[in-house]
């Protein structure tokens, strides 16, 4: 066993979150797609907000970084992330302590519980317009809608012990995955949303969680293809046993790499599972609609398509961190330091969405410089970056 984590250091505001929600691949990128055609998924709408985590140990984070750790009421009231206060998210901490005790009783080990959810904003993560009708659907800005749970043991277990914990949770009806943090090489457990987890959450007083519908992939395409083409929703999330995937609509850029992956999958299914070709055809229909929107809007110019790709990647990246305006107004650091850190973070995140696009790679630095242009001068109009 490994020594306990130093939680106060590990959870310092601004530090890296070392137990992040796993990255979701697109459904057409699954290496087990053929097998998934015969399974039923738990399907939910992919909400376009900000990924936020709240811990039973009293911290909250964005997708990547700790935001607040045991804040006093004054600090909590003033702090905003993505334009929203975190008061409602922090109100869940006492309930997470109850959830923590329930999992400790189940696993017979001291542990930390983390919930992961979508922080709803006024509009969406990338637009002030409520383009997906969240208000009409009953989603309230500032509320956190939980889509999963994390379990981190206070004393890190070896790989065999972690596997036993995974098997224990699976035998109790949960849908666990084993994750490893690349910065610490420590393993932790992620519980994908399912009826058992919803029951555990509700019994602890956590009632805001995403709603799921059991559907086969054939039913998913029947239900959602047109909604994705019409941009009625951002996408859907599909939870299988031990796997979670996304299928995004026309807001996704669908670069050449994605089109090639979908085409390659189609070729494979022609020989291995012809009954699944209809599913791939509908996925390609959404991808083609997304590409057409960008081609039409940008007069079929590749440089404009790259700009759109950059914009989409940038919007996705900034939604994972605190707003630059908030950092500048709330931090005592120099503007040069803040902007340099912001640019580095955003560049790292955007590169994850490059999808082998050489024009994207060539343009990314100039694009980010342009985005921070308005913040480059201090109050005395002195250039600082």
Q: Where are the domains of the chain?
A: 7-23+47-210, 219-375
- How many CB atoms lie under 10 A from the CB of residue 299? 8
- pLDDT bracket for residue 383 (50, 70, 90): very low
Predicted confidence at residue 301, as pLDDT, reads: 62
33: Cα within 13 Å, side-chain hemisphere: 26
Task: Give the span between the Cα atoms of 112 and 150, in whole angstroms.
Answer: 8
244: Cα within 13 Å, side-chain hemisphere: 21
pLDDT surpassing 60 at residue 289: yes
Predicted confidence at residue 6, as pLDDT, reads: 42
Q: Which residues contact 163 (CB under 8 A, 6 or more apart)?
A: 178
Give the mean pLDDT of 60-82: 92
Task: Give the span between the Cα atoms of 180 and 188, in whole angstroms.
Answer: 6
**Residue 349 phi, psi (nearest 5):** -70, -40
Predicted confidence at residue 190, as pLDDT, reads: 98
- pLDDT bracket for residue 8 (50, 70, 90): very low
Residue-wise pLDDT for 137-190, tens only, equals 888 888 999 999 999 999 989 999 999 999 999 999 999 999 999 999 999 999
Residue-wise pLDDT for 213-248, tens only, equals 999 999 999 999 999 999 999 999 999 999 999 999
């Amino acid at each position: 066993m490994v020594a306990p984590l130093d939680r106060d250091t590990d959870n310092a505001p601004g530090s890296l979150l070392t137990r992040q929600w796993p990255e979701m691949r697109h459904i057409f990128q699954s290496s087990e797609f053929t097998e998934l055609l015969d399974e039923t998924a738990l399907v939910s709408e992919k909400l376009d907000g900000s990924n936020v985590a709240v811990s039973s140990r009293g911290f909250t984070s964005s997708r990547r970084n700790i935001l607040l750790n045991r804040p006093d009421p004054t600090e909590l009231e003033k702090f905003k992330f993505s334009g929203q206060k975190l008061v409602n998210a922090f109100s869940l901490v006492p309930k997470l302590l109850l959830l923590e005790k329930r999992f400790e009783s189940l696993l017979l080990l001291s542990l930390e519980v983390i919930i992961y959810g979508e922080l709803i904003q006024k509009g969406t993560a990338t637009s002030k317009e409520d383009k997906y009708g969240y208000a009409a659907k009953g989603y309230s800005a500032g509320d956190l809608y939980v889509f999963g749970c994390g379990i981190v043991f206070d004393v890190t277990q070896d790989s065999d012990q972690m596997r036993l914990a995974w098997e224990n949770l699976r035998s109790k009806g949960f849908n666990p995955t084993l994750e490893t943090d690349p910065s610490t090489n420590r393993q932790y457990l992620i519980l994908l949303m399912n009826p058992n987890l919803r029951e555990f959450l509700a019994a602890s007083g956590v009632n805001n969680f995403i709603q799921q519908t059991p559907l086969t992939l054939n039913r998913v395409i029947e239900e959602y293809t047109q909604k994705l083409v019409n941009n009625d929703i951002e996408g859907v999330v599909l939870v299988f046993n031990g796997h979670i995937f996304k299928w995004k609509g026309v807001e996704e850029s669908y670069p050449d790499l994605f089109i090639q992956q979908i085409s390659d999958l189609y070729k494979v299914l022609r020989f291995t599972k012809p009954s699944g070709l209809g599913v791939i055809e509908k996925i390609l229909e959404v991808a083609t609609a997304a590409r057409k929107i960008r081609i039409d809007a940008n007069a079929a110019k590749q440089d404009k398509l790259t700009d759109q790709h950059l914009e989409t990647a940038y919007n996705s990246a900034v939604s994972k961190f605190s707003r630059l305006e908030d950092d500048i107004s709330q931090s005592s650091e120099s503007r040069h330091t803040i902007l340099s850190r912001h640019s580095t973070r955003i560049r790292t995140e955007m590169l994850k969405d490059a999808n082998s696009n050489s024009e994207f790679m060539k343009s990314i630095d100039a694009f980010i410089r342009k985005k921070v242009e308005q913040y480059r001068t201090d109050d005395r109009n002195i250039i600082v970056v």
